[in-house]
Structure formats: structure tokens, C-alpha cells
Chains A and B, each alone.
Chain A
Amino acid sequence: MNCNTCRFELSQCLDGRLASGRRAIVMQHAATCEECASFWSELQQAQQLTLQLPKERVSEGFREQLWERIRAGEGTPEAVFHEPVPISTKVRYLLTGAAAAAAVLLFAMWMRDDRTRNENDHVASISNGPRNDVHKTSPPVMQDAALGVDPLPLFTSTQPLTAGLLAVEAAKGFEQRCLLANRGIAQIGPQAAATDEGMVRQVFRNAIEARDLGQTLLDLRDRDRLSFRDPEVFQDLLGAVNMLGEIRETVASVDTVRTIVAPALRSFRLGNITRAISLPAALDPSEEQDVLIHMNVQRPQVIRMLFLSFGPNDEICEQFGLHRKIGVFALDDQCGPSFVAPRRMVDAGMQRLRLWSASSGGNQQVQVQVQVEGK
């Protein structure tokens, strides 16, 4: 017999809970094993010690006080039925809660990844070059947006213009123009003899816009407002911008598309440029404003291409000595503000704004249609 088992059963033996047959076996082992015999002896003596302890007695007034409380109609104390919660139960609850939170988090991440994947499906077609089934993919949302889109995105996406926002929007705009240009190139095809002139012009327009946006990214890099994680992406972008540097929409031709535009935008890395850039911490506000003013002066068409601007801000113009007609931060030729809404999110050709008029008691709803400037 194992000594540990024997000792455990000796403990039960002390309480008379062992059957006589088993008791005999245990006692037989204890008789032959010196350590178990000693354990048995000590166990008995320890029990004798506890039995020798003086008896605790309730005080003399215990009963009287109890009857007084009963007669007074005192109820059962609340704590009587408070079962202590075992630690294992607490741990179980904790783990269940943590698992639920993790599940929610994973679901949210999965949903987000799914959306990103859908967006990147368009980009993926760039990396594969011209594809025959390109026409099957749905066109970008911004081209499909219908008249009378709910105005909410216009307001929710409005935010202060920063160099970081400009970089992100320029990168996303660049990816989109690349996608559209490559899609057009795929439709023109390598062997087509006679091609729709409209399609060629569209490819050119997208390529020129991609070039401007690429130059903006390179400018921001020169001013330390963004950096490229992957040097090869930077080299590809630099090459594409240089190759597209000389093209003009007025000289659009199929040959130019095949010899300049297609090779310039062929690199698959250009379709993932958003993921390849990283943004530094925000600058001092005056430096930030300096960068933005510079970008506006150098490439006002890029700002107009990427953002809707809201309201005039004369102070900025005066502070930097800019003429109102210069067209920077402009909406309707007014010197503009620092608040913008990315066109990518709100561009719908026409926005229907619902305003609440205060002139007639504050309850009259006025619907205004705003023609957003075309790109």
C-alpha cells in the first residue's frame, strides 16, 4: 500500500469512516511502516489536543437578548443568505467576459479587414496588369454616387486640413487614378488598331492627375511630412512621376498611352502606396500652415481635386500676404479656410443639403442643392 494513501485513510479511520476490512489493511500497513505508524500516533495525539481545548460559552444574557430581538420582530439579517462566490466562479466569469470581448474585437477587425480587402480588390488589378475581366468589377463608389446623396457624410467627414490629411488623401487619390488609368489601358488593349478617342483622353486625364498627386507626395516627403517605408515604392513613384512629367492631354494618343503611360503606371507597388507611407508627428501649427500654404501655392489644383473647402478665412490670407484671387483653399474663388471635406468621401456631383431656417420660427426645413465643383 502506498504510504500517502495509507495516511489519507488513517485520517478517515480517526473518524470511524473506514469499513472494517479496509481498516484492517490500513492498520496492517501502519504496523509494518514506521513512518505511517508515527503519523497515526501523532494524528491521535493531535486530536486529543483539540479535544482538550476549553469550551467556549455564550454570555449569560445571550438568550434574553435573542428573545428580545425575536419579540421586537427583527427579521433575518441580509448577510445570512449571501453565499460567498468562489474564486473559480469569479475566474470563470472573468474569462467568459474576456472571451466575449475578444470575440467582439475579432469580429470588428474581421469586418474592417473585409472592407479593406474589397477596396484593395481594385488595386489588385493594377498589380496584375491589364486583365480581360476588369470590366466585371464594380466601378468606384465616387463615380457611381447618385444625385441627392444624404448630406451627412459631408459634415461628418469635414475636418481641419493638415499635412497628414493631405498626404493620406493624395496617396489614396493616386491609387485610384492609377486604377482608373490601368483599367482604361486594359480596355484599349495592346493590339487595338482603332480606339475610342474618349477612352484615350480619360486615360490621359487619370494619368495627369496621378502625376500631380505623386508630385504632391514627393513634395511632402521633401518637407519631411511623410516617409516611405519601402524604398522601392519611392523609386517606382519617382520613376512614374518623371515619366509622366511631359505628357499633355492635348497630345493624347494611343501610342503615347502604350509607350509612356502604361510603363509608368505598371508597377504593382503603386497600387499599395497608402500602406507604404508613414506620417511623422504633427508639426508646430505655424510650420504646418507654412507647408500647407506652400502646397496650395505650388499645386492649387491638387487641393481642389482632393478636398471641398468651407467658408472664407481672410485672416490666413492676410497673414501670409496672399491675394484672395490666387485660388488657394478655394471654393467659388474665395480664399479658403482650414476646414475641408475629402472629396473621396463626399463627392457626389451634387449634394443635397437640408438646412433649418431660423427666419420663420425655426421649424421650416429648406432643401438646398449644391453643385460641387467638378474635378
Chain B
Amino acid sequence: MAKPAQEYQPDAITMVAYHRALAEHADSLKAYATRLLGDSTAAEDVSQDAFLALYRHLNQIPTAAFRPWLFRVARNLCLDQLRRRKFKLSLFRDLTKDDDQPFTPVDAGSIRPDQVAETREANQAIEQAIESLPLKFREAFLLCEVEGMSYEDAAAVMGCPVKTVSTRLFRARARFKSLVSRLIKV
């Protein structure tokens, strides 16, 4: 149940910042939500909800804080969905994943088909490794390692101290490294 919208008309400068946030963070927000939820369609809804919420709170959020605020909201929405659809997701995750695999046309002249297959396989292994991380470690890993967020912003998103972020990130990296060891050429 959504809260009724408040009557608020943002000024032009704020709207420019909002459009810019939409252009810069929509994709990464969806990627973050996808990796938390394991469901691309739901992730897109989550990121749209996050931007809708941002629009409704434009008068309260400073422009510089748009990014962590969006990720924080997306995180809350994802955790809420995970809580409510815990079992359903685990049942249908594999099916949706195959359907959602985007078709990426490859320049036949530059990359060979076996290389394409190899890359796809490697990407799948990496995604699986990320997915197998415990939720707390996964969050830190996604925010800092994948999205390149600062420890401070990640701490604001996760609602924990910066030191905790660095510890979780270290552990997440160590686990991830061991999970993808076969892909690492030493």
C-alpha cells in the first residue's frame, strides 16, 4: 500500500539533478537490486520505486546524497521482497534467469564464438560466486567492489559503521577470490 503523494513541485535545478541521477544511477541501481534479489524484473520495479520515492522526497534529500539514498531505499525494498517471497524466489529463480539473459549481438569479425561462450561461462561463474556470498558480505561487495561506492556511502546504505564495511568487504573479497580461483590466472 503506497502512501498518498504529497503536493510538491521541485524547482528547475533540483529537477536537473533528479534527471542526472536517473541517467547515472538507474542502471547500477537495477544491477544492485538484481544481484540482491536474483530477479531482473523485480529489480527493475525496485529501482523504479526508489526513483519514485526520491521524487516524492526531493525537498528533503540533498543532491549530493541522492546516490546513497537511492541505494538505501532499494536495499530496504529488496530485503522486504526477500522476506516476503523467500521461497517463491528460490523456486523460480533459475527459470527467470535464463529468460532474462539479454541477447548481446557480437561482432563476428572481432571475437570468435568459442570466446563468446567462454566469456559467458565466466560471467555466469562470477555471478554465481557473488550470489553465494552471505547477504551481509554480498551487500558490501556489491556496493564497494561492483558499484565502486566509498566506504562511507556504503556504510550509510547498509546502516552500519565504516569499519564494519571494511571488514565485511575484506571477508567478501577473500571468499569471492576463492570461489572464482579457477578463473584467476596466476
Contact = CB atoms under 8 A, between A and B. Distances in A.
Contacts of A100: none
A84 interface: yes
What does DSSP make chain B's interface, helix, strand, loop or mixed? helix
Given A15-B144, A62-B26, A74-B2, A50 B77 contact: no
Contacts of A77: 2-3, 49, 52-53, 77
A80 B151 contact: no
B79 A56 contact: no
Sorting the interface of chain A by its residue count into under 10, 10 to 19, 20 to 34 or 35 or more gives 35 or more
B44 to A, nearest CB: 6
A193 interface: no
Contacts of B6: 75
Residue among A47, A59, A70, A84 with the highest chain B CB neighbour number at 10 A: A84
Interface string B37-72: 000100110011111110111000000000000000
Contact of B27 (A46, A49, A57, A81): A57
Nearest to A57: B27
Contacts of B145: 47, 50
A75 B6 CA distance: 7
Contacts of A80: 49-50, 53, 73, 76-77
B31 A76 contact: no
A46 B184 contact: yes
10 contacts: A11-B170, A11-B173, A38-B186, A39-B177, A49-B183, A56-B30, A56-B34, A56-B43, A79-B81, A83-B159
Interface of A: 7-8, 11-12, 14-15, 17, 38-39, 41-43, 45-47, 49-50, 52-59, 62-63, 65-66, 69-70, 73-84
For the complex of A and B, the 9 pairs showing the least CB-CB separation, nearest first, are A56-B31, A79-B80, A75-B3, A11-B170, A75-B2, A75-B5, A73-B5, A76-B53, A46-B177
